[in-house]
């Protein structure tokens, strides 16, 4: 490990130019320290990604790499697989709807928590709980709350006279999607709320004082100071949340797994159903890869927005 | 950066905007505080915590009481430990918990080690390609587990790691290393260079300054990264669902969903008992380190 103090090996192509050589002595150690990380990421992320690309153009089954079929899997999916097409639109609806709700509820939560009241710290900790607890386990509790015959939510609805027979939560395509969205918002809103709270707390109070001196109302202060100052936090939270929601597997798998009649599949659960339950690895790989270009566009857009801000 | 609790920083100006913006007096009456703060907070708390309450009381209900809606389902009349007993005697729940713990601890440690080294390298050393590699690591966020689970299943089969906890220990770092590296880069950059430079002048090597100066000063950040990583491991589901089929090898989430749900039969008492117990470790860890956890969660966001 004494490479640090030695000069860079002269033969390294990358460091031939004298301009670079000045910093060159830190290069060997720099790369050495990066090596374990790069190894893990190449071996278990980049390499599988390439295998995935290859699988998606073959007719592979579970356990055996198949023949090259070109874009056959993609053609089949887009032209003949109606569940796939509905899973694409479901994924967009799921991501868009949950993001809007999480954004609004997160803002409300952050503004609430940013005020002084008794037990404020306890409340903050409690509100983040859905985000901490394993999604599979909390989603099981929701599935039990949405049970067709013993739903506690329906019991309350019936008792309070809001809906005599309750709602068939997971039984119809529309309510199943709504249930997925409800549970995702319940799980994800705290992440937005706590992140926004952290963002609120670094806004200088002087800005608000100045606004009050100039006669700005609270609503104007919110629109003109709070929201613009939150922009960087907002973008990062949206970025992470969009990726996680778009590729969400745990929650839809446990809550509906496509039921009823494969109507509530998202891309991730449908890829799993085709590849693992149906054995069609090639097709499953093609389905999950459809996520990639969409995610790339979303992320490129957000990175551009972020850089413009800086 | 540590997130301070609200009261210290919350100014009057940051209150929730009142609908009647002009009449600011409304905020200062008791009634106003109830409308503006307490009632919304209580609503949030109720919706957030009810599913956990439902888990708790379901796990203590006897089978007959579970399906009896003539009395209020919101309370337990005759609590029983039957489901918990069955969980430990009739299933391998104990083993699943052990598996989950081993995987979470080992892959968190591996990831921390990798990201401390990589984070230091990217934050402190100047060499060609550092920026590109840094962005490259960030871009791996683009490749969530959903995209990789099928090819990884192939790879794991090739390595003969099916039903082996190493399949998870080796693959979890792919989503732990990127975020903890980014988090630690932030912490390392916040440590004054002068500290290190004066040690270098005194003849210390880079490796020594890293271990003796930078790492100890970044311990809060390392703790945040570790807690966050552990939570992510504990919550992971897709890889363990695919790589582990033996009852003995399963993690909590997979064991519970595959063995306590048989076709259309849901063993709700056991399921809720397991959900509660399975949530407990992360909830406890979290309650001891709320601030560190929140710091980890929001470090990237606030620095944006």
Dihedral sign, Cα of residue B244, residue B247, residue B253, residue B254:
positive
Phi-psi region of B71 (alpha: psi -120 to 50; beta: other; left: phi over 0): beta
What integer pLDDT is reported at residue B299 of this predicted model?
Answer: 63
Instruction: Name the 3-class secondary structure at A58.
Output: strand
User: Which has the closest alpha carbon to B296: B230, B233, B223, B232?
Assistant: B223
The span from the CA of A134 to the CA of A123, in Å, is 20
B289-304 confidence digits (pLDDT tens): 877 777 776 665 544 3
Residues B99, B94: Cα–Cα separation, whole Å: 9
| ipTM score assigned to the predicted complex | 0.85
Higher pLDDT, B261 or B23: B261
Residue A131 lies in a domain: yes
Is A14 inside any structural domain?
no
For position B16, what pLDDT does the model report?
45
Distance, CA of A16 to CA of A12 (rounded, Å): 7
Residue of B nearest to A116 (CA): B7
Tell me whether B10 touches chain A (CB under 8 Å). Answer: yes
Contact B205 A121 (CB under 8 A): no
Which of A63, A201, A283 to mutate to test binding with chain B, by most B CBs within 10 Å of its CB?
A201
- Banded pLDDT at B190 (limits 50, 70, 90): confident
Q: What does the mean pLDDT of chain B come to?
A: 85
Q: Has residue B155 got a pLDDT over 60?
A: yes
Tell me which of B34 and A55 has the higher pLDDT: A55
A290 domain residue, yes or no: yes
B 39-68 → A contacts, CB under 8 A: 40-41, 44-45, 47-49, 51-52, 54-55, 58, 66-67
Give me the long-range contacts of A204-212 (CB less than 8 A, separation at least 24). A205/B9, A205/B11, A205/B13, A205/B14, A207/B13, A208/B11, A208/B12, A208/B13, A208/B14, A209/B11, A209/B13, A211/B13, A212/B13
Average pLDDT, chain A: 85
A95 CB neighbours in chain B (<8 A) are none
Q: Do B22 and A115 touch (CB under 8 A)?
A: no
Residues in chain A closer than 8 A to B14 (CB atoms): 111, 114-115, 200, 203, 205, 208, 226
Chain B residues touching A291 at Cβ < 8 A = 144, 146-147
Cα B238 to Cα B94: distance, rounded to the nearest angstrom: 21
**Model confidence at B138, in pLDDT bands (50, 70, 90)?**
confident
- Put simply, the answer to whether A190 touches B157 (Cβ < 8 Å) is no
Residue with tokens 């060499």: B127
Is residue A108 within 8 Å of B259, Cβ to Cβ?
Answer: no
In this model, does residue B21 exceed pLDDT 70? no
List the single residue in A with minimal CA-CA distance to B293: A132
Query: Which residue among A126, A219, A288 places its CB closest to the CB of B49?
Result: A126
Per DSSP, chain A holds a count of helices (H) and strands (E) of 16, 0
Task: Find residue B266's DSSP bridge partners.
Answer: B261
Assess whether pLDDT exceeds 80 at residue B70: no
Confidence of residue B108 (pLDDT cuts 50, 70, 90): very high
A173 lies in some domain: yes
Range of the domain at A154: 83-309
| Secondary structure element (H or E) that encloses residue B212, with its range | none
Q: What is the 3-state secondary structure (H, E, C) of B37-63?
A: HHHHHHHHHHHHHHHHHHHHHHHHCCH
Tell if the CB–CB gap between A112 and B282 is shorter than 8 Å.
Answer: no
Q: Calculate how close chain A gets to B163, using CA atoms only, in Å.
A: 15
* More confident of the two residues B7 and B169: B169
Using the beta-carbon criterion (under 8 Å), do B147 and A247 form an inter-chain contact?
A: yes
Hey, are the CB atoms on B272 and A144 less than 8 Å from each other? yes
Token pair recorded at residue B281: 């470790």
Which stretch of A4-8, A302-306, B135-139, B157-161 has the lowest confidence by average pLDDT? A4-8
What's the pTM value of the predicted model, to 2 decimals? Answer: 0.86
> Which residues, numbered 78 to 117 in chain B, qualify as contacts with chain A under a Cβ-Cβ cut-off of 8 Å?
110, 113-115, 117
- Provide the pLDDT for residue A299: 76
Report pLDDT for A236.
81
- Which H or E element spans position B262? strand B261-262
* Contact flag A289-B147 (C-beta cutoff 8 Å): yes
The C-alpha of B146 sits at a distance from chain A's nearest C-alpha, in angstroms, of 6
Euclidean distance between CA atoms A286 and A52, whole angstroms? 8
**Is A17 part of any domain?**
no
CB pairs under 8 A between A and B: 357
Bridge-partner residues for A61, per DSSP? A64
On whether residue A54 sits in a domain, the answer given is no
- A10 SS3 class: coil
Q: CA of B52, closest CA in chain A: separation in Å?
A: 8
Q: Pick the range with the lowest mean pLDDT from B96-110, B199-213, B232-246.
A: B199-213
Spell out which residues of chain A touch residue B21, defining contact as CB-CB under 8 Å. Answer: 217-220
Bond from prior residue into A260 cis (ω within 30 degrees of 0): yes
In this predicted structure, what is the pLDDT of residue A308?
A: 65
Cα distance between residue B214 and residue B209, in whole Å = 7
Residues in chain B: 304
Pick from A108, A212, A237: CB nearest B13: A212
| Chain B nearest CA to A80, separation (Å) | 22
Closest-CA residue to A145 (of A255, A257, A253, A245): A255
Q: State residue B298's pLDDT score.
A: 67
For range B252-270, the mean pLDDT: 90
CA nearest neighbour of A76 among A92, A58, A103: A58
Q: State the nearest Cα–Cα gap between B161 and chain A, in angstroms.
A: 13
Residues of B in contact with A146 (CB under 8 A): none
Radius of gyration of chain A from Cα atoms? 25
Minimum distance, in Å, between the CA of residue A60 and any CA atom of chain B: 11
| Number of residues that make up chain A | 310
CB atoms within 10 A of CB A159: 10
Terminal C-alpha separation, chain A: 38
Separation of alpha carbons A266 and A85, rounded Å: 10
Using CA of residue A95, residue A101, residue A106, residue A111, what is the dihedral sign?
A: positive
Say what angle helices B145-158 and A47-56 make with each other, to 10 degrees.
Answer: 100
Domains and CATH numbers, chain B: 23-80 (no CATH), 87-303 (1.10.3720.10)
Of A34, A186, A208, the CB nearest to B118: A34
Does the beta-carbon distance from B13 to A140 stay under 8 Å?
A: no
Say how many domains are in chain A: 1
Contact residues, chain B, for A292 at CB < 8 Å? 142-143, 147
What's the pLDDT at B23? 41
Q: What is the mean pLDDT of residues B12-25?
A: 42
Q: Does residue B22 carry a pLDDT above 80?
A: no
A144 part of a folded domain: yes
A72–chain B nearest CA distance, Å: 18
CA A272 to CA A249: how far, in whole Å?
9
**Phi and psi at residue A64, in whole multiples of 5°?**
-145, 130
- pLDDT over 80 at B134, yes or no: yes
Distance CA A280, CA A36 (A): 34
pLDDT of B27: 52
- Of the candidates B21, B39, B303, B8, the one whose C-alpha atom is nearest the C-alpha of residue A222 is B21
Q: Phi first, then psi: give them for residue A130, nearest 5 degrees.
A: -60, -25
Cβ–Cβ below 8 Å for A37 and B177: yes
Asked whether the beta carbons of residue A45 and residue B140 sit closer than 8 angstroms, the reply is yes
3-class state of residue A70 by DSSP: coil
Q: Where residue A91 sits, what CATH number does that domain have?
A: 1.10.3720.10
pLDDT at B116 over 90: yes
**From A37, A143, A281, residue closest to B150, measured CB to CB:** A281
Helices vs. strands in chain B: H and E counts, helices first: 18, 2
Q: Do B170 and A44 touch (CB under 8 A)?
A: yes
The whole-angstrom separation of Cα B268 and Cα A288 is 32
Q: What is the pLDDT along chain A (310 residues), one digit of tens a residue?
A: 344 444 444 444 444 444 433 445 788 898 999 999 999 999 999 999 999 999 999 988 876 778 888 888 898 888 888 999 999 999 999 999 999 999 999 999 999 998 888 888 889 889 999 999 999 999 999 999 999 888 888 888 888 888 778 888 998 999 999 999 999 999 999 999 988 998 888 888 888 889 888 888 888 888 888 888 888 888 888 888 888 899 999 999 999 998 888 999 999 999 999 999 888 989 999 999 998 888 888 778 777 876 665 5
b (16+ CB within 10 A) / e for A205-220: eebbeebbeeebbbee
Query: Domain for residue A204, yes or no?
Result: yes
What's the CA gap between B122 and B116, in Å, rounded?
10
Q: How far apart are the first and last CA of chain B?
A: 13
Buried residues in B51-75 as b, exposed as e (16+ CB within 10 A)? bbebbbbbbbbbeebbeeeeeebee
Q: Does B24 sit within 8 Å of A218, measured CB to CB?
A: yes
pLDDT at B6: 35
Q: Could you tell me which chain B residue has the CA closest to the CA of A306?
A: B304
Contact between residue A267 and residue A215 where contact means Cβ atoms under 8 Å apart = no
What pLDDT is attached to residue A304?
80
Confidence of residue B279 (pLDDT cuts 50, 70, 90): very high
Distance from CA of A44 to the nearest CA of B (A): 6
Q: How confident is the model at residue B177 (pLDDT cuts 50, 70, 90)?
A: very high
Give the mean model confidence (pLDDT) for residues B56-81: 86
CA A128 – CA A188 distance, rounded (Å): 9
């Amino acid at each position: 490990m004494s490479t640090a103090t030695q000069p860079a090996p002269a033969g390294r192509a990358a460091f031939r130019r004298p301009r670079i050589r000045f910093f060159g002595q830190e290069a060997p150690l720099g790369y050495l320290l990066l090596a374990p990380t790069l190894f893990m990421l190449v071996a278990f992320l980049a390499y599988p990604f390439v295998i995935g690309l290859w699988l998606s153009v073959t007719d592979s089954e579970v356990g055996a790499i198949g023949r090259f079929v070109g874009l056959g899997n993609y053609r089949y999916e887009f032209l003949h697989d109606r569940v796939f097409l509905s899973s694409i639109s479901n994924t967009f609806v799921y991501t868009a709807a949950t993001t809007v709700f999480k954004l609004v509820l997160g803002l409300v939560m952050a503004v609430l928590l940013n005020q002084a009241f008794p037990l404020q710290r306890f409340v903050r900790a409690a509100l983040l709980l859905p985000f901490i607890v394993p999604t599979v386990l909390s989603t099981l509790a929701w599935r039990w709350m949405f049970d067709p015959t013993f739903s506690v939510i329906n019991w309350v609805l019936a008792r309070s006279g809001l809906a005599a027979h309750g709602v068939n939560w997971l039984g119809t395509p529309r309510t199943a999607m709504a249930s997925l969205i409800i549970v995702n918002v319940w799980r994800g809103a705290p992440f937005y709320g706590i992140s926004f709270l952290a963002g609120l707390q670094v806004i200088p109070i002087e800005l608000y004082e100045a606004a009050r001196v100039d006669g700005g109302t609270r609503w104007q202060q919110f629109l003109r100071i709070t929201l613009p100052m939150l922009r960087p936090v907002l973008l990062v939270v949206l970025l992470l949340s969009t990726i996680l929601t778009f590729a969400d597997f745990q929650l839809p798998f446990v809550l509906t797994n496509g039921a009823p009649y494969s109507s509530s599949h998202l891309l991730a659960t449908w890829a799993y159903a085709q590849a693992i339950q149906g054995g069609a690895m090639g097709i499953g790989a093609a389905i999950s890869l459809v996520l990639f270009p969409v995610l790339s566009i979303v992320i490129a857009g957000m990175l551009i927005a972020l850089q413009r801000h800086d | 950066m540590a997130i301070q609790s609200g009261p210290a920083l919350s100014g009057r100006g940051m209150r929730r905007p009142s609908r009647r913006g002009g009449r600011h007096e409304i905020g200062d009456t008791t009634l106003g505080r109830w409308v503006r703060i307490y009632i919304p907070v209580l609503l949030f708390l109720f919706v957030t915590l009810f599913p956990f309450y439902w888990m708790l009381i379901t796990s203590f209900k006897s089978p007959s009481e579970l399906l009896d809606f003539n009395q209020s389902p919101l309370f337990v009349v005759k609590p029983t430990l039957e489901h918990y007993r069955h969980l430990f005697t009739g299933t391998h729940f104990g083993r699943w918990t052990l598996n989950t713990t081993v995987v979470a601890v080992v892959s968190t440690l591996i990831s921390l080690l990798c990201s401390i080294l990589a984070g230091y390298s990217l934050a402190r050393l100047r060499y060609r390609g550092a920026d590109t590699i840094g962005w490259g690591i960030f871009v791996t966020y683009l490749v969530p587990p959903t995209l990789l689970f099928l090819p990884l299943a192939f790879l794991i089969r090739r390595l003969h790691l099916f039903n082996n906890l190493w399949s998870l220990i080796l693959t979890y770092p792919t989503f732990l290393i990127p975020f903890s590296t980014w988090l630690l880069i932030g912490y390392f950059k916040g440590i004054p260079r002068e500290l290190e430079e004066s040690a270098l002048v005194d003849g210390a090597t880079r490796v020594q300054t890293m271990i003796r100066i930078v790492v100890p000063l970044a311990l809060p950040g390392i703790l945040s990264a570790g807690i966050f990583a552990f939570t992510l491991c504990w919550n992971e589901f897709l890889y363990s669902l695919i790589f582990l089929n033996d009852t003995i090898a399963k993690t909590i989430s997979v064991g519970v969903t595959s063995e306590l749900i048989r076709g259309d039969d849901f063993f709700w008492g056991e399921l809720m008992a397991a959900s509660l117990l399975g949530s407990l470790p992360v909830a406890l860890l979290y309650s001891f380190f709320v601030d560190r956890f929140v710091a980890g969660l929001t470090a990237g966001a606030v620095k944006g």
